[in-house]
Amino acid sequence: MNRTYTIKDIAARVGVSPSTISRVLSNAPAANVVSEKTRKQIHAVVEELGYVPNVNASRLVKNKTNLIGVVIPGMEGTNIHSSVLVDRVFNVTLGGIESVLKNNNYRILLIFKNDKFVENKEYLRLFRENSVDGLIVWGAHLDDNYWEEAAGYNLLLINSHCERYDNLNYIGHDNVAAARAITRNLIRQGHRNIVYIGGNENISIIRERFEGYQMALAEAGVPFRPELCFSGNIGRQAVNRIAEEIAAGKLTADAIQCVSDGLALHCGYNLMNHGYRIPEDITLTGGDRIEDEYAAMTDWKFPLPTFRLNSFHMGELAAQNLLHKINGGITVPIRELLPVELVEPQTIKDKIENKALNKEKRSCPVRELIPV
């Protein structure tokens, strides 16, 4: 681990000034092109000594880090429809972000957010201390406070957003359309007693899916009955209780729309234990289908209509837009919803006259990927 070289060492060896080295290595701004000859010599010496510029010096003087902070919820508090499913969705999104960043010579600073992150406005500190050029924040809550100063910075919410600060940049999925399509198909199949199992309504994607459900009911003229709907912190116990109520005849249901596949699986498990056949006796639906053995297992046990996010693309779009904004290319708030894709198992598909979602996307068209 020999001492590391500085730009001056290179300059001394080549016999030019440090400025010239700098200009060669950072691809001189048009005005000052270094001659081909010196350029070659410099590259040779750089190669020979294995010289690498000190990023901190560069960051200091350029006031630019080429770092994007990705903020994610801490590990505490996983529940029935978080954990594995969320891990997957998150990691795929991260992959999308990274794929764009690496092409633009950016790196990821990973930041775990705890309860106090928003309240203490730690996002501000990250910008002020020059830790990052931009911030992608995963897991905003609808009732979050303290984001008011965020609008002036290169900060973008992803996956879930915050209602009261609608001038914040946001990239997510069209959850309303997703749930609406699921409900609509259930109605087309003749179901009228559609139980809805949601979750924490303080998270925009949960709330939006519930809205989609209600919207579809309204559109079909099916009365909305709150007594069929469950929300809040839905866990194993809650699901068990709902299944028991159904089995005991206290709750009439010919279909159950669950906010996610994980929830649907547990629900199905409980119902089957009570002797129900799926989908013959009762139809289940889910959400957030992921492509692997987990999905395979779902289909293994019973057919489960669900929808598929495009998380990778969500990550790409987020990174792309943020970089574009950092470079001054976007001055208005960014706000885009990606369409989701409906997934219908064959057995159920047969029951439906025609599927609709992909034809009538409610979301704005996805902006072209902008190379930055």
- Interface contacts to DNA, rule CB under 7 A: 4-8, 15-20, 22-23, 25-26, 29, 32-39, 53-54, 57-58, 60-63
Q: State in angstroms the smallest separation of the CB of 50 from a second copy.
A: 7
- 269 interface partner picked from a second copy, DNA, none, CB below 5 to 8 A per type: a second copy
Tell me whether residue 63 or residue 331 sits nearer to DNA (CB atom): 63
* 68 interface partner picked from DNA, a second copy, none, CB below 5 to 8 A per type: none
CB of 152 to DNA, least distance (A): 18
Closer by beta carbon to DNA, 38 or else 193: 38
Phi, psi of 277 (to 5 degrees): -105, 140
Q: Given the complex with DNA, which of 19 and 120 has the nearer CB atom?
A: 19
**Is the CB of residue 209 less than 8 Å from the CB of residue 268?**
no
| Inter-residue contact 176 to 208 (CB < 8 Å) | yes
Q: Which is nearer to a second copy, 19 or 273 (CB)?
A: 273
Report, in Å, the least distance between residue 362 CB and DNA. 44
As measured in angstroms, the least distance from the Cβ of 51 to a second copy is: 8
Which residue, 124 or 370, has its beta carbon nearer to a second copy?
A: 124
Q: Which of the listed partners (DNA, a second copy, none) does 148 bind, with a CB threshold of 5 to 8 Å by partner kind? A: none
Positions touching a second copy (CB under 8 A) are 1, 4, 50, 52-57, 59-60, 65, 67, 70, 74-75, 78, 80, 83-84, 87-88, 90-92, 94-95, 98-99, 102, 107-112, 124-125, 128-131, 152-153, 262, 265-266, 269, 290-294, 296-297, 300-301, 312
Q: For Cα atoms 61, 63, 64, give the angle at the middle one, nearest 5 degrees.
A: 120
- Using CB distances below 5 to 8 A depending on partner kind, what does residue 47 bind out of DNA, a second copy, none? none
When the beta carbons of 146 and 312 are compared against a second copy, the nearer one is 312
Residue 309's binding partner among a second copy, DNA, none (Cβ under 5 to 8 angstroms by kind) is none
User: In this complex, which beta carbon is closest to a second copy, that of residue 82 or of residue 363?
Assistant: 82
